[in-house]
């Protein structure tokens, strides 16, 4: 691009992209696998259970999962081993350093779709932010590998704010646009959450799914005719241990803890629900008013896809009434919780039908606690 004279310093969302794995696990399949594991565990430990030395495991059910979350299915990168009671984790051959890593591969696929939808050549992009909660390695940065694969001459870095990574990435990209340090920035969220989920834990074995999303944030002066003005953003963090994963390279310094449950996803779900819903709802209402927007006038809410009950309460507090499926669309039922990608999937799949001038909100919330709000208006 040689259009520096057209730059406005106003950030917009030019396009989004989505990669969805072909494998799907239904609740019925998941429950059947989990219950086989439970029955085998209880049989193998019958004497110890009888003696009170080992706690018997409880079976799961489709009804329990749907009532607790609203989830009916999820996409994964490796269905077979996850459903195998002997494994219950993803499995695939380790790739050499010369091969494109799996996280980069799915991130590139989402990015290319976003670029195609915007009519943008990758060579015109200035930066890549890999904003996700499940990084494949500490270094080199996933973003730089993605940048290399796409042929972008610029810079890239990784950022992790758990489920809020994408919205934090969008604000970061928007700030680069406002400051003139970039004209076009890809925010990519490749989430292989199946790798950090304890598929043998009844309270959480159904929560997550795999996916990758991409958001192209650009200066309004070079954006396609149809785009979304970023009216304002707000980020918030409050420390909490109620959602946590203690896996890391320092685990090897304390070998007694290796392999324990806290080295995968753990949460206190009821506490999260009670504390996060009011925090997020208040943030949205306050910031909408700060930006001169009527929160009850927002045409659509693209909320983090973690729990149907949480979204229902947040939407009701923001809009002032029970939200319809049109006002607060869900993808949770078929994608499950995809961490930072959830609200972007909802936006990607449920935004084309809105009219010029309609305003909406992309909102995330999760571990940290963290929450991010991106207020947008459609331009067409």
Q: What is the DSSP string of 213-248?
A: EEEEEEETTTS-SSEEEEEEEEEEE---SSEE---S
Is 339 within the bounds of a domain?
yes
The verdict on residue 77 lying in a domain is no
Q: State yes or no: cis peptide before 30, omega within 30 of 0.
A: no
Whether residue 322 is contained in a domain is answered as yes
* Cα distance between residue 326 and residue 314, in whole Å: 15
> What letter would DSSP give residue 292?
T
Any domain includes 50: no
Active site residue 130: no
Q: Where do runs of H (alpha helix) occur along the chain?
A: 27-44, 46-51, 62-69, 79-83, 102-118, 142-150, 165-179, 269-290, 308-319, 332-335, 342-349
What is the distance between the alpha carbons of residues 131 and 161, in angstroms, rounded to a whole number?
8
Q: What is the separation of C-alpha 62 from the centre of its chain, rounded to a whole number of angstroms?
A: 24
H or E element in which residue 176 lies: helix 165-179
Query: Is residue 270 one of the residues assigned to a domain?
Result: yes
pLDDT in tens, the chain (380 residues): 555 558 999 999 999 999 999 999 999 999 999 999 999 999 999 999 999 999 999 999 999 999 999 999 999 999 999 999 999 999 999 999 999 999 999 999 999 999 999 999 999 999 999 999 989 999 999 999 999 999 999 999 999 999 999 999 999 999 999 999 999 999 999 999 999 999 999 999 999 999 999 999 999 999 999 999 999 999 999 999 999 999 999 999 999 998 899 999 999 999 999 999 999 999 999 999 999 999 999 999 999 999 999 999 999 999 999 999 999 999 999 999 999 999 999 999 999 999 999 999 999 999 999 999 999 999 99
* CATH value at residue 373: 3.40.47.10
- The CA distance from 47 to 366, in Å, is 41
Q: Does residue 345 lie in a domain region? A: yes
In a domain, 167, yes or no: no
* Residue from 305, 291, 287 nearest 349 by CA: 305
What is the residue range of 328's domain?
228-379
Please report the pLDDT score of residue 5 as a whole number: 55
Task: Judge contact between 210 and 345, C-beta under 8 A.
Answer: no
Inter-residue contact 378 to 354 (CB < 8 Å): yes
Give the pLDDT confidence score for residue 144 in this predicted structure: 98
**Euclidean distance between CA atoms 150 and 169, whole angstroms:** 19
In this prediction, residue 2 carries a pLDDT of: 53
Q: Which of 17, 249, 2 is nearest to 128 (CA)?
A: 17
Number of other residues whose CB lies within 10 A of the CB of residue 350: 18
* Number of structural domains found in the chain: 1
Alpha-carbon distance of 128 to 185, in angstroms, equals 6
- Residue 336 domain flag: yes
Catalytic residue among 25, 82, 103, 163: 163
**Which residues have C-beta within 8 Å of that of residue 96, sequence separation ≥ 6?**
none
Sequence-distant (6+) residues with CB within 8 A of 133 are: 160, 161, 162, 163, 165, 191, 193, 339, 340, 366, 367
Task: Please say whether the beta carbons of 110 and 213 come within 8 A.
Answer: yes
| 0.75 surpassed by pTM | yes
């Amino acid at each position: 691009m040689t259009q520096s004279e057209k730059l406005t310093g106003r950030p917009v969302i030019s396009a989004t992209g989505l990669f969805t794995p072909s494998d799907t696990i239904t609740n019925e399949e998941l429950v059947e696998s989990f219950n086989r594991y439970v029955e085998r565990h209880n049989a193998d430990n019958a004497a110890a259970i009888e003696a009170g030395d080992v706690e018997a495991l409880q079976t799961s059910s489709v009804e329990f999962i749907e009532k607790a979350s609203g989830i009916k299915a999820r996409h994964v990168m490796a269905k077979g081993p996850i459903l195998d009671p002997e494994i219950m984790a993803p499995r695939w051959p380790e790739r050499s350093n010369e091969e494109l890593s799996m996280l980069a591969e799915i991130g590139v696929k989402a990015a290319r779709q976003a670029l195609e939808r915007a009519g943008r050549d990758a060579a015109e992009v200035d930066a890549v932010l890999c904003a996700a909660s499940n990084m494949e390695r500490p270094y080199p940065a996933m973003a730089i590998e993605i940048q290399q694969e796409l042929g972008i001459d610029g810079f890239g870095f990784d950022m992790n704010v758990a489920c809020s990574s994408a919205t934090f990435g969008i604000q970061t990209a928007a700030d680069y646009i406002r400051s003139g340090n970039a004209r076009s920035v890809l925010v990519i969220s490749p989430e292989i959450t199946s790798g950090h989920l304890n598929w043998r834990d009844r309270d959480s074995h159904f929560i997550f799914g795999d996916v990758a999303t991409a958001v192209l944030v650009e200066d309004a002066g070079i954006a396609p005719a149809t785009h979304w003005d970023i009216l304002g953003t707000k980020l918030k963090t409050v420390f909490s241990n109620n959602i946590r994963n203690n896996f890391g390279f320092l685990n090897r310094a304390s070998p007694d803890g290796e392999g324990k449950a806290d080295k995968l996803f753990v949460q206190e779900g009821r506490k999260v629900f009670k504390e996060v819903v009011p925090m997020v709802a208040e943030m949205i209402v306050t910031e909408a008013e700060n930006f001169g927007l009527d929160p009850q006038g927002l045409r659509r809410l693209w909320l983090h896809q973690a729990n149907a009950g949480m979204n229902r309460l947040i939407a009701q507090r923001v809009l002032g009434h029970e939200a319809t499926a049109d006002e607060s669309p869900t993808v949770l039922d078929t994608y499950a919780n995809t961490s930072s990608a959830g609200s972007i999937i909802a936006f990607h799949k449920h935004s084309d039908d809105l009219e010029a001038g309609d305003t909406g909100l992309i909102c995330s919330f999760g571990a940290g606690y963290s929450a991010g709000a991106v207020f947008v208006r459609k331009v067409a």
